[in-house]
Structure 1
Amino acid sequence: MPQQKAVIIGAGIAGIAAAIRLAVKGYTVEVYEANSYPGGKLSQFEQNGYRFDAGPSLFTMPQYVDELFKLAGKNAADYFGYQKLDVVCKYFYEDGTRLSAYADTKQFAKEIEDKTQEPAAAIIRHLANSRDIYDITNHVFLERSLHRLKTFLRWDTIRSILRFPQIDPFRTMHKANLSGFKDARIVQFFDRYSTYNGSDPYQAPATLNVIPHLEHHFGAYFPDGGMYSITQSLVKLAEELGVQFKYNYKVDEIVVINSVAKGIRAKGEDILADVVVSNMDVWFTYNRLLSKHPKLHPKKILSQERSSSALIFYWGINKQFPELDLHNIFFSADYQTEFDHIWNQQDIYHDPTVYLNISSKYKTDDAPEGCENWFVMINVPANNGQDWDQLIATARNHIMNKLSRLLHQDIGKLITTESILDPRGIENKTSSYKGSIYGTSSNSQFAAFLRHANRSSKAAGLYFCGGSVHPGGGIPLCLLSAKITAGFVK
C-alpha cells in the first residue's frame, strides 16, 4: 500500500508541530509556506547589529516542545535548551511601585505583601484558585477536542462538568479580582492576564484566571538561543523525519471534490494529498482558499469578534539598564479607560500599558556590547481601517515619554535603530485576519469553548491547527492544537 501524504498550509509553530506528529505516524509530509522562513509569528530578524525575536516572547510549558522530540524518539536536549527564570517579570506602576514577580510562590507573595497593601495570604489563595481552574479544564479543554463525542463520555470530563461553577464563568475577570483583592495595583496585576489571549478583563470571564497558574506553577523560561530557537529546533527535527518545507510557496486554493479535500493548488499546480491541514487563520482559509465552496463556511465562527492586535517597536538602545529584566511591564494609570479605547473606541489610549522584552539580558550577543535590544509592545485594536500612521506616531511619543519618566532617562536619545510592526504588518506577514494575534477574542462567557474545531465537519480530510482554532493562541496552545489535530488523523 503506498504511503499516505499530508500537506500543511503554513509553517507556523502549530504547522511544524503537526508535520512532526504526522511524520511520526508514517505520513509523507510537505509544508507550504508563503514566506521565505518558517515560524509564522515566531520568527526573528537582525538589524544594525541587533537581533530581535519578532513575535512571542514569553515561553511557558516547555514540556509541550519536549514532547515532540520524545515522540520522535529523540533527546530534546540535543536540539533545544532553556533555563527557568527566577523572576518571571518586573512591574512598574505610575505611583513609583516596583514589583518583582518571583517564580517561587512564597517569595512572590511576600514581595506583594512587603510593597503593597495586599496580604501574602490573598496571593496564595488566588494562585490556588488558578490551579483549581486548571485542574478542572486542562484535560477537557486544552488537551482534547470539544467537537468529539467521546471527549464527553470520559469520566474525567463528567467530573469536570460537575465542577463547572468552580471555573467562575459567570463573572468577569475584573469583578472576580476586585472581590479577591483590596489593593487596586494587585487587581490590575491579575487583570493583565486577559491580554495573554487578546481579551478584555472587563468583559472576559473569570475562567481566564487560570493563566497565572501557567506562570507561577509551571514557570517561565528562556530558550538558550532566544525564542526563535524553538522554531529552528522543531524544523530541524521535522526535516530529520523527512518533512519537506516549501518556502516562498503561496497556496491559492484547497482542492475539494464531492466534500472531500483532495489537496491544494499552488503556482498553477494541483498537489494531491490524503490529508490537508491548514495552519492559516481560519478566516483566510475559508475566504481565500475555500472561496469556491461557500457551503463549507462556518458563518457564525467567521463573524466572531477578533482578538486585540499589537503595536511593536524594535529599538536598539545604546545603554544598559540594570533595573530591567527579560520581561517588564509599565502599567497604565487607568486600566479601564485603556481597554475602553482598545475595544470600544478602536484606538490607542494616551497612557498605554507597555510591555518591554530584552532578550540580550540572557543572550548577550543579541545586542552590541553595552547596548540592549528592546522589544516594546502595547495592545491595540484589530485593524478596522484606522489611520494607523497617525496612531503609531502619537503612540510612539506617548510610549517614549512614559518609559523616560519611569526610568528617569531620555529614551529617545538612546535609540540607534528602529523597526515597527503594526496590525497591518501582522496581517500581511502572518495571514492573521485584521492583525488579531489570537484569532477570536474570549470576551464572552463561552467564547473560548466555541472556537473553530480542529477538523472540518463538512469536508473529509480537511483539518485545522494554530492560534485561530481550538484551543487558542500562544505557543503552548498552538502546540496542543497540533496534537489534537494529529489525533483526528488515522
Structure 2
Amino acid sequence: MTKKAIIIGAGIAGLAAAIRLKVKGYEVQVFEANSYPGGKLSEIKIGGYRFDAGPSLFTLPEQVEELFKISGQNPKDHFEYIKLPVTCHYFWEDGKSLKAYSDINLFAEEVEVKLGEPASNIRKALKQSDYIYRHLSPLFMHRSLHKLGTWTNSLALKSYLKMGKLGIFNTMNAANVKSFKHPKLVQLFNRYATYNGSDPYQTPATLNIIPHLEFNIGAFFPKKGMHDITNSLFKLAKDLGVEFNFGAKVDEVIVENGKASAVKVTGELFKAELIVNNMDMVNAYKSILSKQKQPKKLLEQPKSSSALIFYWGIKKEFPELDLHNILFSNDYKKEFDHIFNLGSIYEDPTVYINITSVYKKDDAPEGCMNWFTMINVPNNQGQDWDVLIKEARRHIITKINRTLKTDIEPFIELEEILEPRTIESKTSSAQGALYGNSSNNRYAAFLRHANFSSDIKNLYFCGGSVHPGGGIPLCLLSAKIMTEMVQ
C-alpha cells in the first residue's frame, strides 16, 4: 500500500520536499495557510510593475535542476536562467564604485585600478573561499549535523585537522582585515554576513564560504524572474500528482504513542505515515506542536536580522544601475551595532537595490524601473515600527540622492512596503527574522533544529529555520537532507 506524507507549508523547501517524496513513491498532500505557494519567494504585481517579493539572489541553480532530473524531466524544458556578467554594482558616497564582474580576473583588475588593492589579494581571498567550501560544504550543507555518521566519515575527519584554516576561530571581519589593505574591500566582503542575517563583526570567518558561490561558481538570474523558481517547481509538483490545499492552516500535529500520525485542519483530521514541517520552527513549536516537548535552548536562541523593503515603481531609467546594487554605509560597524545591539535602524544604512527590469524588461513600463529597495533591520522586538519606517524611508532616499547625485522621490510613482511585522504575519517567520536563529557565534551551525525530531517519530523538518539554513540553495538542500533520511 502506498504510504502518505503530509507537508505543512508550501515554501520553496516544502515544494522540494513534496517533489522528492513523490518521486520516492509517497502520496503527498501539502497544506498551506496562504493562498499561494512559495512562502517568501513570491511576487507583487501592481500598476504595470512586477516585483520579486523575497529572495533576489540566485546561486547553485543545480539544486533546482536536480528536482526536474530526479522527476525524469529536462530542466531546460521548464526552467531557464542566465549567468550574470556582473554579480553586483557597489557604490560609496565619495564617488568610488566597483563592478563585481563574474570573471575573477576582470574583478581583480577592477579592484586594483579603482582602489589600488593588489589584484592578487582578490584571487587569494577567493581561493580561500573555495578552500572553505570544498572542506565544509560536504559536511555542513549536504549532510545532517545530527547524525553520528556525519562526524565519523572520512570527509569530516579531514576537516577536523583544518578547522583553523577554515575560519572557525576568527570573525569574518578579522579575517577580511587580514586579507585586504583597503577598507572598502573589507566592507564589501563583510557584506556576505548579511546573506544569512548575521553580523560580520561577530559571525565566524567560516561564512567567507559565501563569496565562492557568487564568484567561483556564479550568480544567475531566471529569465522569467525569481518567482519562476516557485512557479516551475509548483507546476512540477502538481504534474507529479502532489495535492495542494491553500488557505488551509494546520492547527495541530497529532502525536500518538510518540509518533506523528495526523494533522488537524479546521477540526478535520488528515492521517499520514510521515509529517514534514516546512513552517518556521519557532512558531511551529508555539502553535501546531505546542502540546509537545519544547526544545527550549533552540527556541531561546537570538534570531537573525530582518528586512525593510520598499517596492518602488520608478518612472525613470538609471543606466548606471545593474540587477544588484549596493550603496554602502559610511560606518558599517555602527550600522550593525544598531541592528544587533540597539534593536534600531542606523541613520546611514547600507541600501540594496534590486532591479529585475534590467534583464526582464516587462517588469516595468517602458522608460521605467522596478526598484526592490531594501535595508537590513533588526527583527521584531516590539519596536515602534511606524516611526522607524518613516525615519528609515527618509534616510534611504537621502542616501540614494547623495550617492547617485539625484533626487529620487519625484520619480516614485507607486510604493508597497514589507517590514518585520508583515514578514512574520505573511510567512510565519518568528519575529520577522529572515533566516531563523542568528549565526553570530562559531557554534551557530549546531544551534539549528535538526531535519528530524529526536522526540517524535515520523516528524521531519525542512526550510530556512532548520539545518542547513536560510536562502534558496540551503532551503532546497534541507529538503534533500530530510528526504534522504526517510526510509
- The bucket for the TM-score relative to the shorter chain is over 0.9
Q: In the alignment, what sits opposite 2:351?
A: 354
Query: For 2:179 and 2:56, how far apart are their aligned partners in 1?
Result: 29
**Secondary structure of the structure 2 residue equivalent to 1:138:** helix
3-state SS in 1 of match to 2:111: helix
Question: CA separation in 2, counterparts of 1:182 and 1:153?
Answer: 40
Deviation of the 1:160 alpha carbon: 1.6
**1:65-104, aligned counterparts within 5 Å?**
65-104=64-103
Find the counterpart in structure 2 of residue 228 from structure 1.
227
Q: CA deviation digits over 1:52-91, x for unaligned, max 9?
A: 1100000011000001111111000111000000000000
Deviations 1:28-55 (A, max 9, x none): 0011000000000000010111001100
Measure how far apart 1:211 and its partner are. Answer: 0.5
The equivalent residue for 1:301 is 298
Pairwise mapping of residues 252-401 of structure 1 onto structure 2 (< 5 A)?
252-293=251-292, 295=293, 297-401=294-398
Deviations 1:132-172 (CA, angstroms, capped at 9, x unpaired): 00011011110000111122222122112222222111111
Matches within 5 A, 1:408-487: 408-487=405-484
Distance between the aligned counterparts of 1:173 and 1:164, measured in 2? Answer: 14
Tell me the equivalent position of 1:127.
Answer: 126
Q: Name the aligned partner's letter for residue 361 of structure 1.
A: V
Q: Which runs of 5+ in 2 are unaligned?
A: none
Structure 2: which amino acid aligns with 1:60? Answer: T
The AA in structure 2 aligned to 1:38 is P
Pairwise CA distance, 1:117: 2.6
Q: 1:16, 1:201 → 2: CA distance?
A: 32
Deviation, structure 1 residue 446: 1.2
**Number of matched residues?**
487
Counterparts of 2:206 and 2:217, CA distance in 1: 18
Alpha-carbon distance in structure 1 between the residues aligned to 2:386 and 2:355: 26
Cα deviations across residues 429-485 of structure 1 (Å, max 9, x unaligned)?
000000000001110111123211000000000000000000000000000000000
Secondary structure (helix, strand or coil) at the match of 2:453 reads: coil
Note the alpha carbon deviations across 1:370-429, whole angstroms, 9 max, x for none.
000000000000000000000000000010111112212211000000000000000000
- Gap runs ≥5 in structure 1: none
Matches of 2:207 and 2:55, distance apart in 1: 19
Aligned partner of residue 269 in structure 2, secondary structure: strand
2:53 equivalent in structure 1: 54
Runs of 4+ in 1 over 4 A off after TM superposition: none
Q: CA RMSD in A?
A: 0.7
**Aligned residue for 1:195?**
194
Q: Which amino acid is the alignment partner of residue 363 of structure 1?
A: K
User: 1-side partners of 2:416 and 2:170: how far apart?
Assistant: 40
Aligned to 1:144: 143
Query: Residue type of the partner of 2:439?
Result: S
- Tell me which amino acid in the other structure corresponds to 1:415: I
Tell me, in whole angstroms, the C-alpha distance in 2 between the residues paired with 1:200 and 1:150.
31
**Over residues 289-333 of structure 1, what are the superposed CA-to-partner deviations in whole Å (9 max), with x where a residue is unaligned?**
01112x2x1110111110000000000000001000000000000
Tell me, what secondary structure is at the counterpart of 2:217? coil
User: Structure 2 counterpart of 1:364, which letter?
Assistant: K
In 1, the alpha carbon distance for the partners of 2:289 and 2:282 equals 10
Residue pair 2:308, 2:376 contacting (<8 A) in 1 also: yes
Name which of structure 1's ranges 460-469 and 156-165 shifts more when overlaid on structure 2.
156-165
Equivalent pair of 2:89/2:324 in contact (CA under 8 Å): yes
The equivalent of 2:175 in structure 1 is 176
In 2: Cα distance, 1:168 partner to 1:419 partner: 40
Instruction: Describe the superposition over 1:160-197 as per-residue Cα deviations: whole angstroms up to 9, x where unpaired.
Output: 22222221111111111111111000000000000000
Task: Output the CA distance in 2 between the equivalents of 1:234 and 1:177.
Answer: 38
User: Which TM-score applies when normalising by structure 1?
Assistant: 0.99
Q: Which amino acid aligns with 1:106?
A: N
SS of the residue corresponding to residue 146 of structure 1 reads coil
Give the secondary-structure state (helix, strand or coil) at the position aligned to 1:60: coil
Aligned to 2:250: 251
Tell me the distance in 1 between the aligned counterparts of 2:149 and 2:200.
33
Q: What SS is found at the alignment partner of 1:277? A: strand
